Structure 1
Amino acid sequence: MAAEGGSKVIKYLMFFFNFIFFVCGLVVIIGGALVLTQYSEYVDFTGSMGNAIPIVLIIIGVFILMTGFLGCCGAIKENYCMICTYAFIIVVILLLELGGGIAGYVLRDDIEDAVRKNMEDLMPKYISNNNTKNVFDKMQEELKCCGTNNYTDWASILSTGNVPDSCCKTETAGCGTAFKTADINTEGCVDLLNKLLVDNIVLIAGIAVAVAVIQIFGVVCSCCLMRAIKSEYEVV
């Protein structure tokens, strides 16, 4: 039975919000893929968390995309069961997002401690392990940092007065040997890497809030449409 009057407005509003929801799913998937690419360079320091965050994002994005598609189909076909299923799934997603947000806030200090510990454990392997050396050099070059806490951490790994060349502001062969403090990046990498993590988490949180607002509108519209469809069938 075709929706009429106010229910038709609700129907198209629900379709509109779910189309946006569908697009948000695509954005989350793309964002997760980009974050996964970025974190893959630092996975030795971030541990399993480095891959877990973007993978979870991609999974959520796929779920959002499929749910948005279900909501669009339910609205166009005015199918009571599809709309009811859609509303239930949206409520579940909202609860999962709330739980994930609370968990992220509670565990934020543990994440920083884990990154610091991984970095400190890997530093002694800089000379003996070529992969570790490449990871540290790449991180220090890109983040403009030196050592875990600061440049003095290298004194116990290399001979005193030396740092890796990747610590130099202008990198040249041997620039880290008998360096001058003014010529190197002195800030520790752990703080800058944590800032990178936090910045990405804040961006993700902003997207999550925007998606949550759309979800709430979607639930309200779906409930109104279900009520309208049920009333029309009762009249018939």
Structure 2
Amino acid sequence: MVERMKTYKAIKYTLFVCCYLFWVASAVLIAVGVYAKIAKEGDVVDSLTADPALLLISTGSLMFIITFFGCFGALRNGVPLLKLFLGILVAILLMQIAAAVLGFLFSDLVLERTEQLMAKGIARYREDLDLENLIDFVQKKFQCCGVHTYKDWSGNVYFKCSETNPSLEGCGVPFSCCIQWKNESVLNTMCGYETQTLEERIAKDSIHTTGCLDKIVRWGKRNLILVGGMTVGLLGLEIFMICLAAAQISRIRGKVKTVNSRRRAR
């Protein structure tokens, strides 16, 4: 009886701690997303797929609601809450597996959709500070420029390479496309000006000319074990929490049956 009680408490508080950590993380995501949304100078981008602030808020809110069920269900032995938590996690797990299978089977379609989203992000660069920072981060991190080539920046109204474009940045690329040399202490933000007018063999002396989609795909293939390990780890954590929730529901039911049988015996 004592061993059963210890096991029950271990399951209960392990589940509570796991859910609580995710609960706090989700609250942080919501806070960061709300702050980013309020701090913007202009609220132009309102698409979930193109606005990082909205993505943070929506993801954080979903996590907050799900982990709320897990936290209070585990702490208060609430079977309905635990069942809801368990059902949502199982549904998310199945959707992730289905998405992975479909993504593998229709990889060309996924790449095409990703290309469209990236092109849309380039078109809205300068309209949203969060999106601008995200694109700059990706281009710096992967040392790339545009979707497939640096000339993709003509898809942006500010960088469009046209004689009728009055922008000073016309025929150029953002500074995040530029090659930063080790001995360069101050970044030249004008290094990408008019680089679209140059041939690739000449432009590559000052900017990265390979597209970000190509670089990211290559990175994924080179780090297949790392990406696979992270995916398996995430799925494993979800399965672990599902097992904990199912085990606690079973223990609570067993405890209720034991109490009821004792009452009947009296």
User: What TM-score, normalized by structure 1, do the two folds share?
Assistant: 0.65
- Judged with a 3 Å threshold, the aligned counterparts in structure 2 of structure 1 residues 229 and 218 are, in CA distance, closer, same or farther, namely same
- Judged with a 3 Å threshold, the aligned counterparts in structure 2 of structure 1 residues 20 and 212 are, in CA distance, closer, same or farther, namely farther
For 1:103 and 1:113, locate their aligned partners in 2 and report how far apart those are by CA, in whole Å.
Answer: 19
1:172 aligns with 2:188: yes
Q: How does 1:188-203 map to 2 (within 5 A)?
A: 188-191=211-214
Query: Which structure ranks higher in relative contact order (CA pairs < 8 Å, sequence separation ≥ 6)?
Result: 1
Structure 1 vs Structure 2: percent identity of aligned residues? 14
The C-alpha deviation readout for 1:140-197, integer Å capped at 9, x for no partner, is 46522222211243578426xx53252222452543335641221122133467879x
One-letter amino acid matched to 2:211:
G
- Judged with a 3 Å threshold, the aligned counterparts in structure 2 of structure 1 residues 147 and 25 are, in CA distance, closer, same or farther, namely closer
Q: How many residues align?
A: 218
Q: How does 1:113-192 map to 2 (within 5 A)?
A: 113-120=112-119, 131=127, 139-140=135-136, 143-144=139-140, 145-154=144-153, 157-158=160-161, 163-166=172-175, 167-170=177-180, 171-172=187-188, 174-176=190-192, 177=194, 180-191=203-214
Structure in which a larger fraction of residues adopt helix? 1
Cα contact 1:17–1:214 (8 A) shared by 2? no
Cα contact 1:15–1:72 (8 A) shared by 2? yes
Cα contact 1:151–1:188 (8 A) shared by 2? yes
For 2:30 and 2:232, locate their aligned partners in 1 and report how far apart those are by CA, in whole Å.
Answer: 16
CA-based RMSD: 4.5
Question: How far did residue 68 of structure 1 move?
Answer: 1.8
- Judged with a 3 Å threshold, the aligned counterparts in structure 2 of structure 1 residues 67 and 87 are, in CA distance, closer, same or farther, namely closer
SS in structure 2 at match of 1:117: helix
- Judged with a 3 Å threshold, the aligned counterparts in structure 2 of structure 1 residues 184 and 59 are, in CA distance, closer, same or farther, namely same
Cα contact 1:90–1:219 (8 A) shared by 2? no
One-letter amino acid matched to 2:49:
G
Question: How far did residue 227 of structure 1 move?
Answer: 1.1
SS in structure 1 at match of 2:90: helix
Q: How does 1:1-236 map to 2 (within 5 A)?
A: 4-30=1-27, 32-33=29-30, 47=49, 51-52=54-55, 55-74=58-77, 82=78, 84-105=79-100, 106=102, 109=107, 110=109, 112-120=111-119, 131=127, 139-140=135-136, 143-144=139-140, 145-154=144-153, 157-158=160-161, 163-166=172-175, 167-170=177-180, 171-172=187-188, 174-176=190-192, 177=194, 180-191=203-214, 206-207=233-234, 209-236=236-263
Q: Which segments of 5 or more consecutive residues in structure 2 lack a partner in the other structure?
A: 163-170, 181-186
- Judged with a 3 Å threshold, the aligned counterparts in structure 2 of structure 1 residues 211 and 135 are, in CA distance, closer, same or farther, namely closer
For 1:208 and 1:137, locate their aligned partners in 2 and report how far apart those are by CA, in whole Å.
Answer: 30
Q: Which segments of 5 or more consecutive residues in structure 1 lack a partner in the other structure?
A: 75-81
Question: How far did residue 107 of structure 1 move?
Answer: 5.1
The C-alpha deviation readout for 1:100-140, integer Å capped at 9, x for no partner, is 313432358455433322443565x68xx853899568724
User: What TM-score, normalized by structure 2, do the two folds share?
Assistant: 0.59
For 2:26 and 2:230, locate their aligned partners in 1 and report how far apart those are by CA, in whole Å.
Answer: 14
SS in structure 2 at match of 1:93: helix
The C-alpha deviation readout for 1:55-89, integer Å capped at 9, x for no partner, is 14531333213322222112xxxxxxx3x324422
